[in-house]
Amino acid sequence: MRWWPPLSRAFRFDPPRLLAAQMELLDRGMSTAFVASMMVSLLTAATYQLTVGDARIWAWCLATVGLCLAGMAVHRTLPRPGAPGFAPLRYAHVIRGVCALNGGAWGVLGLCFIRSGVPDSTNLVVGMVAGLGSAGLALFGPSWPIGMSYWLTCLVPVLIGLWRADGLVNTALALGGAAYLWAMTVYSFHASRIAARSIELRFENEDLVLRLRDQTLRAQEARQLVEQALVEAEDANRAKTVFLASASHDLRQPLHAAGLYLGALSRAGLNERQLHLMRQVQVSNEAANEMLNTLLDFSKVDAGVVKPQPRSFALQSMCHQLERELAPLAEAKGLAFRLRDTRLVAHADPALVEMVVRNLLVNAVRYTERGAVLLGCRRRGDRVVVEVWDTGIGIPPDQHREIFREFHQLGNSERDRRKGLGLGLAVVEGLARSMGVSVSLASRPGRGSVFRLSLPLSQQTVMDEVRVVPQGDLKGLRVLLIEDDEVVLAAMLDLLVAWGCRCEGAGTLDEALGRLDVFTPHLVVADYRLREHRTGVQAIAAVREALRLDGGAEIGALIVTGDTAPERLREAHASGLQLLHKPVPAEQLRAALLSQWRQIQAQRVGLASAAG
């Protein structure tokens, strides 16, 4: 695993064609970034004077606002990407200089205004700079040299200011800030390479289209070229699937670790302000998780590992659960969320039905700006129809089939990620197809839409289901963790120890087998993809075999994976082991461990009774 990217790339831009596309992506957010920087500097100055009482902060604020205004002026004078006279390299150098100056302004804040013995000054400066640094990931993601110019001028002076300040806390923050800068460097490098690869794939597809358009003018040669194009298109589709799976896996690792650390941090006795900041981080982490989980749902459907388990269930409890979950999201946009009560009972897989309806509701809320969203159920002969109504933008008739294609979106030409990835309705159609049911659509542009999910009607009476959060403790549970990512391994070890488990960690299968000489686990938790082309399934089998030879009982096991590639998902599901998908929320991990611990304890009681 490569932990440190080549630093020479931090000072070298990509070739002109790729650089032009990168600058086009970066240019869209520049004006917003300048405005945000000015607003945050004003807020910082006002808060600093109220808490610390140092009016000199306004001089820094005015200088920062001046730099932002100057940067906006320079940005406006530059030819836009795609316009006549646009020179990608010149544009990149100018923007890098502007971003370095803006980052340096924030670095001066940390260098000059962190005061020893005044915790509020440290909290304010570190919080603001960390927030701006994290926001920079989205803006500077396409270009690593520009991002590094901003982060170095912004964060290095702050670290110096923390190091110079007296106190153990400031020293610890300086060290933690250095680790944060290192992590930002590595993470932003990989993010920029992913963006570059995506652009290169787009170029390849555009070149393929142009080549096909030129070649189809010849009669006999056209047939050969079309056949070749079909082969290339299949390769491109496979490459897209591999790319999405790899990108999803690499992004899930740090998000999984962050979720585990947040779970441990929530039990660390934080004060009210720290809890507020932690909740804000959790909201951002959950938003990223939602996008990755959508990719995972799509990959599961694409892999064909979704196996419906139909049974009779009351729709009312599902509707109430979705109302509790999504009504706050609708109300936050000023929409009314309405639910019509029902006594109807359907015969289908309740988990898959809930997933379908949730995706429909999320889409309805996302594309409705005013009015209401309605969830209701109707009986139609021997069928029950679940309906999701909205008063949103509506869908033109010629798009009724297109919207169920993956990555296809209406009203999102700017690719605003707050509007999702364009996979929700593709997941809906795939899940409906796997259950053997249908989803229909009626819509009027500008007036709204209604999606209808038709399910078999059950005549059986079903009691309302109650969702229970597992209770109990994990004290005494011995867990062997096998994870090749050191950050994730450390986070899981910290969290499990906090829950009362006894743990041993290993980065490879050989290390795990070596631990068995001094440690006998009740449970093995293994990442699916390990070093040396080995899998968690193989690791669990090897550990079980080693313990069986020593006369031990077969131990419990969990697989944790960040893979979304269809073939990987099929292999993992075929193992028969319980599977958790990264990033795993702390409570979901705890529930899975409790379930395994209860089974282990029950097995031990049974063996003791048999021996007696």
The percent of the chain in helix, strand and coil, each rounded to the nearest 5, is 65, 10, 25
CB 420 within 8 A of CB 409: yes
CB 454 within 8 A of CB 383: yes
Residue 507: what are its φ and ψ, rounded to 5°?
-95, -20
Q: Determine the Cα–Cα distance for residues 360 and 374; give it in Å rounded to an integer.
A: 11
Q: Determine the Cα–Cα distance for residues 222 and 227; give it in Å rounded to an integer.
A: 9
pLDDT bucket at 479, cuts 50 / 70 / 90: very high
How many CB atoms are closer than 10 A to CB 60? Answer: 19
- Does 1 score more than 50 pLDDT? no
Would you state the pLDDT for residue 377?
Answer: 92
Is the pTM higher than 0.75? The answer reads no
Per-residue pLDDT tens digits for 571-598? 666 777 787 877 777 777 888 888 888 8
The DSSP call for residue 457 is B
The two tokens of residue 397 are 């008739």
468 or 235, higher pLDDT: 235
> Which of the listed ranges 131-145, 448-462, 490-504 does the model predict with the highest average pLDDT?
490-504
- Does 107 score more than 90 pLDDT? no
In this structure, is the dihedral angle defined by the CA atoms of residues 140, 142, 145 and 146, taken in order, positive or negative?
Answer: negative
Q: Determine the Cα–Cα distance for residues 297 and 77; give it in Å rounded to an integer.
A: 45
- Does 395 score more than 60 pLDDT? yes
Tell me if the bond preceding 583 is cis, omega within 30° of 0: yes
Per-residue pLDDT tens digits for 50-102? 898 888 899 999 999 999 998 888 888 888 887 788 888 888 888 888 888 88
Paired residues of 502 in beta bridges: 478
CB 347 within 8 A of CB 455: yes
Strand order, beta sheet including 336-339: 336-339, 372-380, 383-390, 448-456, 438-444
The DSSP call for residue 563 is -
Per-residue pLDDT tens digits for 247-305? 555 555 666 666 666 666 666 667 777 766 666 666 556 545 555 555 555 555 554 54
What is the enclosing helix (H) or strand (E) of 303? helix 272-303
Q: Determine the Cα–Cα distance for residues 534 and 336; give it in Å rounded to an integer.
A: 51
Would you state the pLDDT for residue 298?
Answer: 52
Distance (Å) of CA 502 to CA 50, 522, 550? 48, 10, 21
CB 470 within 8 A of CB 595: yes
Which of these, 37, 107, 31, lies nearest to 67 by C-alpha position? 37
Distance (Å) of CA 430 to CA 147, 307, 423? 39, 12, 11
- Residues for the chain: how many in total? 612
Would you state the pLDDT for residue 250?
Answer: 58
Which of these, 46, 53, 42, lies nearest to 118 by C-alpha position? 53
How many CB atoms are closer than 10 A to CB 439? Answer: 19
Q: Determine the Cα–Cα distance for residues 496 and 22; give it in Å rounded to an integer.
A: 42
Q: 13-27, 482-496, 574-588: which range is least confident on average?
A: 574-588
166 or 216, higher pLDDT: 166
- The CA-based angle 282-194-183, given to 5 degrees, is 50
How many CB atoms are closer than 10 A to CB 156? Answer: 18
